[in-house]
Amino acid sequence: MKRTENQMLVIFGASGDLTARKLVPALYNLYEAGQLPENFVVLGASRSNLTDDDFRKKVVLESTYLEDKLKDKKKEEILDFANKFFYEDLGNDYDTDYAPLRKRVGDLNKEKGTAGNIMYYLSTPPTLYEVIAKNLADAGLSTQNNGWKRLIVEKPFGYSLDTAKKLNVGIQKYFTESQIYRIDHYLGKETVQNLLVTRFANSIFEPLWNRNYIHHIEITNAESVGVEKRGGYYDKSGALRDMFQNHLLQIVSLIVMEPPISDGAEEIRNEKVKALKSLRIMKDEKTLHDQTIRAQYMASTIDGKKVKGYREEEGVDPMSTTETYAAIKFYVDNWRWKDVPFYVRTAKRMPTKVTEVVIHFKSPHHQIFKESGIHNKDNKLIIRIQPDEGILIKFGVKVPGQGFNVERANLDFYYSSLAETRVMDAYERLLLDAMQGDATLYARADEVEAAWEFVDPILNYWKNGENVRMYGYPSGVWGPENADDLIEGIGAWRNPGENLTDDGGFCVLC
């Protein structure tokens, strides 16, 4: 296990929801597992007028997000964790003199022995990233003369290719690229990381991981909820920006990438960038028309309860053309993946919450067993990212009895079956990696820009193209009916259930 050096975590926007909901529970899990360094301090910084005690009550002692974790713990243990938290009021604006912040950081560094190592977590809107980076630099808080300094920024990283480039340049004026960690919590999930191990540590998969054996690849990200209270933000973003450009293209890069030289962070990130740059960018309107679908959820009744349509949600323009469903077909221009179609969809108000990757293998070239329907029963490798995390292989077996009737059986593995292993949640893993200086699961500047290069033409077509349609689908179904037309000549999407293996399969009980 890597050593975690003594350090301080400074959270900008610390009075916001993300800190109490995600960051502090992740830190508590690390504390409970003994993975925080001996000398560790959290300094919250934002515009709220709070004292150290107020901040500790808000994010630890009276936090509803820690209630279950703390209910059976000893008071001494709870206080030991809470006393690691401090707070600095920045005043009315993040664009201010950070001299008081510098003094507080210096005092805590001396008092708590954090060795000058500081991680800045920007839990703020992206419009403030450059402002905060500049003010930290002006206050001498970005230099690495006395201990290292790292900057973690949240998504969305840019609104387009142009804004992403400007954001990169803006931050890189004050922090070097090696200091910048762009967080994508999807990459913190064990099953996403397991894509690499499944591919590169198993000789039964890697030789088959190419156009000779794979027919097509399908990725589904579905959420059962609507936009909830995020209507104002979501209406300016949409499904393609919110999920596809970052989370899902990160998953695509892990599927597409070539074997890295080693498991080093830069080697892996180099191959991910190459993978994203090899995606065939769709430029002409016919291709964009034929290979993209967008839609919005409409009002419906689910389990006897009426739910609003997207345009009826709070904060959403009643005439909005922002998509809550996006399905994209695309190709990868390299030897490994030539002519293999990739199908990726993301949506809200689906029948269940699920994210999975499905590798569809080609049928044997010479079909000996030609019973009806075998062409619809291809071998599949299904990697379930959430929920019911695990891996499922669907393969052919003989049905007992006369003849050679073939049915598909399931061979499955679940992370929940690893009884002795505690699976870290995404923020827990990513925070620990950043504390240890491991950037493997963080996006690099050129990686972010390569993703936007692929997405920008789709967004521009949806905004300005001719014959662009916005379809509707009732809440609680698997998107618009014409979405299956995208999968030309193959059939339909795999519509997964909540459980990894609840879609059938063959077995004999007695």
Residues serving a catalytic function are 247
Amino acid type, 290: D
Strand arrangement, sheet containing 118-122: 85-89, 40-46, 7-12, 118-122, 149-153, 180-182
CB 483 within 8 A of CB 472: no
CA quadruple 313, 316, 319, 321: dihedral sign: negative
Q: How far is CA 384 from CA 17, 66, 356, 387, 478, in A?
A: 28, 28, 4, 7, 18
Q: Is 445 left (phi over 0), alpha (psi -120 to 50) or beta?
A: alpha
Nearest alpha carbon to residue 78 among 18, 26, 31: 31
Q: Label residue 111 exposed, middle or buried (CB < 10 Å: 0-12, 13-18, 19+).
A: exposed
DSSP 443: B
Write down the H helix ranges in 185-340. Answer: 190-200, 231-237, 239, 249-256, 265-277, 285-291
Q: From CA 493, how far away is CA 271, in angstroms rounded?
A: 29
What percent helix, strand, coil does the chain show, rounded to 5?
35, 20, 40
Buried b (16+ CB within 10 A) or exposed e, 383-416: bbbeebbbbbbbbbeeeeeeeeebbbebebeeee
Helix/strand/coil for 445: helix
Q: From CA 7, how far away is CA 121, in angstroms rounded?
A: 13
